[in-house]
Amino acid sequence: MRSHFRISNGAAVACAVSSATVLLAGICSAQPYAYDSATDPTYGSGWSAGQNAGYGFGAWSFNGTQTPPTGTYQGMSSSSALGTAWTLMSPSAGQIANAGRSITGGLQPTQTFQAVIQNPVNSQGYYTYGGFDILFTSGTDNNPPGNNTSALRLSVFDYYNAALNWGINDATYTAHAFNTGVSAITTGASGMVVDLYLSSATTYILTLAPQSNPTSHYLTFAGTLASPIDYVDFRTYGAASTGLNDTADNFSISTMEVVPEPSTWFLCGLGSISFMLWRRRRK
């Protein structure tokens, strides 16, 4: 799969060795700083604003959803490939359904935020203001419609994007998103792991990978943050959903966590990519 990660020969060897070393040291046993799952019994009777079954995150907010009443377009579903998941449904074409929460203490250098999602796959077509995104912000609540201000925005916008390619906005790509070349039609066919690793207070490495094979990345992208991160906001504003079972139009999230180092899958993928790049340059 395509990777947009660029790395020097020395760094390639270092990454490959350090990744293997950390894995052998038992990274899998690291205790998350923050964790929540849609399978928690708290969500057994539904998903509501103000709930918080995990730790290290603030309560869920549905503010910024365009069509009231709040909570009408957020619910629990087991129809997606994720199984039980928090599910966002677009109220009508182009109107936003919103769900977000704070990260206690903010995301810090060497920490990784991870979410397992299944994104919508339907497009409203050319010249339509539809799509979906994940906003990593320094705010205290969800971004309302029309406000895309963020440290990092991972998005799909239909307007002139028949392939539904994911785009990235950060401190470098401000006015126009970087086109990753990774299609949401591909990533939305099953579950996807989104890993955001802070390599410093201002730099990050973002990886997207299939849940079924998380060491085989769709994308590995290094960039610069526009601001600190202490809030994550999921939004969908595509084709109108027909209900909780409309997996083609809904945005689903099954788990989210913050771990104190790069995730296992991130390190596996980075180590493999680094080693392959090193070998290629040796030839």
Residue-by-residue pLDDT tens, the chain, 283 positions: 444 454 434 444 444 444 444 444 444 446 899 999 999 999 999 999 999 999 999 999 999 998 777 789 999 999 999 999 999 999 887 789 999 999 999 999 999 999 999 999 986 555 456 789 999 999 999 999 889 999 999 999 876 777 899 999 999 999 999 999 999 999 999 999 999 999 999 999 999 999 999 999 999 999 999 999 999 999 999 888 999 999 999 999 999 999 997 765 555 555 554 544 445 555 5
How many CA atoms are closer than 13 Å to the CA of 220, on its beta-carbon side? 21
Residue 146 is predicted with a pLDDT of: 87
Residue 13 is predicted with a pLDDT of: 41
Q: How many angstroms separate the CA atoms of 56 and 31, rounded? A: 12
Residue 267 is predicted with a pLDDT of: 56
Per-position DSSP letters for the chain, written without gaps between them: --------HHHHHHHHHHHHHHHHTTGGGPPPSEEEETTSGGGTT---TT---SBSB---B-TT-SSSSTTTTEEEES-STTSSEEEE--SSTT--EEEEEEBTT---TT-EEEEEEE-------TT---EEEEEEESSSSPPPTT----SEEEEEE-TT-TT-EEEEESSSS-SS-EEEEEEHHHHTTS-EEEEEEESSSSEEEEEEEETTSTTS-SEEEEEE-SS---EEEEEE-SSPP-STT-TTT-EEEEEEEEESS--HHHHHHHHHHHHHHHHHHH-
- Burial profile 78-105: b = 16 or more Cβ within 10 angstroms, e = fewer: ebbbbebbbbbbbbeebbbbbbbbbbee
Please name the amino acid found at residue 167.
G
Q: How many angstroms separate the CA atoms of 137 and 143, rounded? A: 9
Residue 3 is predicted with a pLDDT of: 47
Mention the CATH class of domain 9-282: mainly beta
Q: How many angstroms separate the CA atoms of 101 and 170, rounded? A: 20
Give Cα 215 distance to the centre of its chain: 16
Q: How many angstroms separate the CA atoms of 263 and 273, rounded? A: 15
Residue 8 is predicted with a pLDDT of: 39
Lookup result for tokens 């493999």: 272
Measured in residues, the chain has a length of: 283
Rg (CA), the chain: 18
Residue 92 is predicted with a pLDDT of: 81
Q: Which pair of structure tokens corresponds to residue 164?
A: 């539904």
Q: How many angstroms separate the CA atoms of 236 and 155, rounded? A: 10
Q: 98 forms bridges with which residues in the sheet? A: 235
All structural domains of the chain with their residue ranges: 9-282
Residue 16 is predicted with a pLDDT of: 45
Residue 125 is predicted with a pLDDT of: 57
Residue 157 is predicted with a pLDDT of: 87
